[in-house]
Amino acid sequence: MDQRSRVSSVDSLGPNDEDMPYSDDETDDELDEPQPKNTEQNRINQETEDKQGPVKKEGTWKVKANDRRFCELPEFQKKSFLWFKKSKYSGNSIRTYKYNPITFLPLNLIDQFKRAANAYFLALLILQVIPQISTLPWYTTLVPLILVLGITAIKDLVDDIARHRMDNEINNRSCDVLQDGRFQSYKWKDIQVGDIVRLKKNDFIPADILLLSTSEPNSLCYVETAELDGETNLKFKLALKVTHEELQTEQQMSDYDGVCILNITTSLETPMAW
């Protein structure tokens, strides 16, 4: 794997040319439909791309395997605040909670006073503080308002604590990541763009991944997407023929430094090279 080669063959970038199983959501009529052949056009596009290089487009993402610093290059930086910049690639840690111990009280009060009823009682309380306007004591409105705000805040706090626990449980799940030439156990939140992840049967998928190879002869695997779309039938996924043939051992995967350029629809724009 020391030598660098560029795979430009259309066949090598596609799945294996063998009988492929299909999922339940594909009918026989859909499979029997003839697919348009643009071999000549693909060849012309490939020659043009080899001469001009990859075309940069909005929404284009570039990923390099086994290189965590690649996404920190200046071309992948974006402004976050004033002159501060950060990588446009996000981390793998998920966050569904809304508050933290410092921001809970102010943010929760702001959210509650966005409701018309609470804002009305707050305005009424301010008017009752002025003796020339109201004859009623101010605490007649303050006590009910505090009770409403307090009960709602407690409910929001309980819900947010549950979200914190769920996030921690998911972020601290472990998986095998290739580092220093061998697979090591990493937490999901520590996975970075470009990492090679090894999944086993019935494992949850920890991130958006590109299938490189499997232990099956045809680089085949089945994925259940019930948590995403509610469908319980298994969907099959196929790795590219070139990656399935070349990436079978830990040493081969460790030496692999391929670069993938993907557009917003996650389709391969340029040949994969290493």
Residue 247, CA atoms < 13 Å, CB-side half-sphere? 23
Please report the pLDDT score of residue 52 as a whole number. 44
Please report the pLDDT score of residue 31 as a whole number. 44
Please report the pLDDT score of residue 274 as a whole number. 47
- In angstroms, rounded to a whole number, what is the distance separating the alpha carbons of residues 39 and 233? 34
Residues 134 and 71 in one domain: no
Residues 140 and 202 in one domain: no
SS3 label, residue 198: strand
Q: Determine, yes or no, domain membership for 179.
A: no
Residues 195 and 271 in one domain: yes
Q: Determine, yes or no, domain membership for 176.
A: no
* β partners of residue 79: 85
Distance of CA 18 to the CA centre of its chain: 31
Residues 20 and 73 in one domain: yes
Residues 147 and 209 in one domain: no
- Print the SS3 string covering 37-102: CCHHHHHHHHHHHHHHCCCCCCCCEEEECCCCCHHHCHHHEEEEECCEEEECCCCCCCCCCCCCCC
Residues 73 and 117 in one domain: no
* Token digits of residue 234: 């298994």
* Token digits of residue 52: 């001009």
Is the pTM value of this prediction over 0.75? no
CB 87 within 8 A of CB 192: no
Residues 60 and 29 in one domain: yes
Q: To which H or E segment does residue 175 belong?
A: strand 174-179
Evaluated on CA atoms 96, 166, 210, 27, the torsion sign reads negative
Distances in whole angstroms, Cα of residue 17 to Cα of each of 13, 161, 211: 11, 51, 17
Q: Determine, yes or no, domain membership for 42.
A: no
Q: Determine, yes or no, domain membership for 40.
A: no
The set of long-range contacts for 220-229, using a CB threshold of 8 Å and a minimum separation of 24, is 220/20, 220/21
CB 260 within 8 A of CB 62: yes
Please report the pLDDT score of residue 106 as a whole number. 94
Please report the pLDDT score of residue 153 as a whole number. 96
Q: What is the pLDDT along the chain (274 residues), one digit of tens a residue?
A: 444 444 444 455 555 544 455 444 544 444 455 545 455 555 555 554 554 444 444 557 788 888 888 877 777 777 776 777 777 788 888 999 999 999 999 999 999 999 999 999 888 888 888 877 777 787 888 898 999 999 999 999 999 999 999 999 999 999 999 988 889 999 999 998 888 999 998 899 998 888 888 888 888 889 998 888 888 888 888 888 888 888 888 888 888 888 877 765 544 444 444 4
Q: Determine, yes or no, domain membership for 44.
A: no
Residues 109 and 163 in one domain: yes
**What is the greatest pairwise CA distance in the chain?**
89
Residues 209 and 241 in one domain: yes
Q: Determine, yes or no, domain membership for 38.
A: no
Residues 196 and 273 in one domain: yes
Residues 61 and 140 in one domain: no
Residues 209 and 245 in one domain: yes
Q: Determine, yes or no, domain membership for 46.
A: no
Q: Determine, yes or no, domain membership for 244.
A: yes
The domain tally of the chain equals 2
Q: Domain of 116?
A: 104-170
